[in-house]
Amino acid sequence: MVKYIAQRKPLIFLLLAFIASNIIFWPGIVSPDAAGQYAAAQAGVYTDHHPPVMSFVWRYLDQLYAGSGLILLMHLIMLYTAAAILVVIFKDSKFKWWYAILPLIPNIFSYTPLIVKDVGFAYSYLLAAAILAWLMVNKTEKNKYVLLLLVISLLFYGTAVKYQARFLLIFLTLGVGYCFQYQANKRAIITGVVLCLLLLQAMFSFNKLLVPNTQESHSWQLVKLYDLAAISIALDHAEFPEFVKQNPNYSFSKIKQQFSSREVDPLVFVPNAVLKGGNTAQQRTELLSYWRKTVLSNPGLYLQHRLRLWTHNFFSVPSARSHPANFFKNTSLGPLLNNQQIYTMIDVAYKTLSIALQFIWLLPLLLFYSYLSIVNFNKNKYAVPLLMFSCVSLTLLGVLFFMSMASTARYVFICTCLVHASHGFAYRAFRRSS
């Protein structure tokens, strides 16, 4: 009995951490975005400003237990199950303890209680990737198709809940194709591509048919307006279509005052917003055409703006809503944290560590792990899931460069999760190749 428990210490630790996380953080902290999604869930009226799937699922969970508690539980189950699978993969290695503490790493732990689509997307993709990694390493046939069906379900939810996920889906469906034969051949590629297309079509059909009340918000316009605002400020000349300037609240001087290189929010998500998108198809076409012309005329200014915004992602720390010290203020540790000096020490240490883990680890390790996985792909089984993890992360960073309208740590949260999940695979790939 003692030996049995000793062999499973990391899994027991994970179970206790899972229980503690539910107790401490229940029922979760609802972000402003999620609050809007919850309102949509209660009303049964959805828009595409946020993917309607999360609201749709939340509507039915809310009937079982009102509030955000079951969403939190769902997220925690996915996170801790993924960590447990990674522990099992490395059960004969010291890395099993790394994966046992994976949910407690500051950049992951800080988002544990936060109810937001980015977390649901990250944890569903992380769990799908962990299952695929287990299959790739062990090359087992036992329960393989049941596990692959679970992976496909997770990929559907994760892709449907986060718009940018559609650009990442292909790498995980290729992983599914690989697991059918445990070979990277033409059949695996075809299977992965077909599955990707089927899942995308299923997602679009779900949004359009199963959620008929979905209303298009055309939120992509905000990205274009943000780009035009940055270029306009750089040129010191307003570069907007005429219908944008006809907004009663429009003022170029206000745009210059309120502009932020970190987010579009001060321009569009405030009362009496100075910038508004088109309400008609003709206006939206005009905006897209004007944006394209302006960007092509000023490519340097456009890329400078995009690079500034993108770089902020690596220096971002979780917001005050997801600050561990703030959570624990509501626990038995509350009196201790009321001491301003102690709180400040925790705050500085936490933010410093968060930035270090985000910047120093994220991009450099992603590039190194990608190289390592490509070099060893055909001669090391650990390189296969490593390449899958790296491709998902790097592709998302590329998508965010061109499509993001804000920079925050949660936008790259899946990258953070996958990089930290990659360390054991990278070590094995590097050591065995050497």
Domain-ending residue, one of 246, 278, 298: 298
Q: Which two tokens stand for residue 382?
A: 């650990």
Asked if 160 and 12 sit in the same domain, the reply is: yes
Distances (CA, A) of 285 to 162, 196, 241: 25, 29, 11
Give pLDDT, residue 277. 82
Asked if 47 and 118 sit in the same domain, the reply is: yes
Classify residue 423 by its DSSP letter. H
Asked if 192 and 120 sit in the same domain, the reply is: yes
What does the alpha-carbon distance between residue 197 and residue 191 come to, in Å, rounded to a whole number? 10
pLDDT digits 0-9 by tens, 78-122: 999 999 999 999 998 888 999 999 998 877 887 888 888 889 999
Q: Which two tokens stand for residue 48?
A: 């595409």
pLDDT digits 0-9 by tens, 178-213: 999 888 889 999 999 999 999 999 888 887 765 665
Asked if 92 and 210 sit in the same domain, the reply is: yes
What does the alpha-carbon distance between residue 199 and residue 212 come to, in Å, rounded to a whole number? 19
Asked if 150 and 275 sit in the same domain, the reply is: no
Most confident by average pLDDT, 54-58, 207-211, 329-333, 420-424? 420-424
pLDDT digits 0-9 by tens, 395-426: 998 888 888 888 777 888 898 899 999 999 99
Name 93's Cβ contacts closer than 8 Å, sequence gap at least 6.
Answer: 424, 428
Interhelix angle 299-312/383-403, nearest 10 degrees:
120
- DSSP line for 274-305: S----SSHHHHHHHHHHHHHHHHH-HHHHHHH
Asked if 110 and 160 sit in the same domain, the reply is: yes
* 88 or 33, which is more confident: 88
Asked if 237 and 94 sit in the same domain, the reply is: no
Mean pLDDT of all residues in 377-404? 90
Q: What stretch of H or E contains 347?
A: helix 340-355
Cβ-based neighbour number of residue 352 at 10 Å: 12
Q: What is the pTM of this model?
A: 0.86
Q: What stretch of H or E contains 83?
A: helix 69-89
Residue 432 lies in a domain: no
**AA identity, residue 281:** A
Residue 134 lies in a domain: yes
What does the alpha-carbon distance between residue 206 and residue 201 come to, in Å, rounded to a whole number? 8
Asked if 171 and 285 sit in the same domain, the reply is: no
Asked if 155 and 204 sit in the same domain, the reply is: yes
Domain count, the chain: 2
Above 80 in pLDDT, residue 5?
no
Domain-ending residue, one of 298, 313, 328: 298
Give pLDDT, residue 321. 43
Mean pLDDT of all residues in 318-344? 53
Expressed as residue numbers, the domain containing 293 is 220-298
**AA identity, residue 75:** H
* 130 or 324, which is more confident: 130
- Are 75 and 108 contacting, i.e. CB atoms less than 8 angstroms apart? no
pLDDT digits 0-9 by tens, 255-270: 888 888 888 888 888 8
Among the listed residues 417, 433, 347, the one whose alpha carbon sits nearest the alpha carbon of residue 383: 433
Asked if 184 and 238 sit in the same domain, the reply is: no
What does the alpha-carbon distance between residue 288 and residue 221 come to, in Å, rounded to a whole number? 8
Asked if 241 and 206 sit in the same domain, the reply is: no
Taking CA 323 as the corner, what is the angle to CA 321 and CA 329, rounded to the nearest 5 degrees? 95
Give pLDDT, residue 125. 96
- Are 61 and 78 contacting, i.e. CB atoms less than 8 angstroms apart? no
Residue 167 lies in a domain: yes
Residue 154 lies in a domain: yes
Asked if 28 and 176 sit in the same domain, the reply is: yes
Domain-ending residue, one of 246, 264, 298: 298
Q: Which two tokens stand for residue 388?
A: 């899958």
Confidence of residue 341 (pLDDT cuts 50, 70, 90): low
Q: What stretch of H or E contains 66?
A: none
Q: Which two tokens stand for residue 311?
A: 């770089």
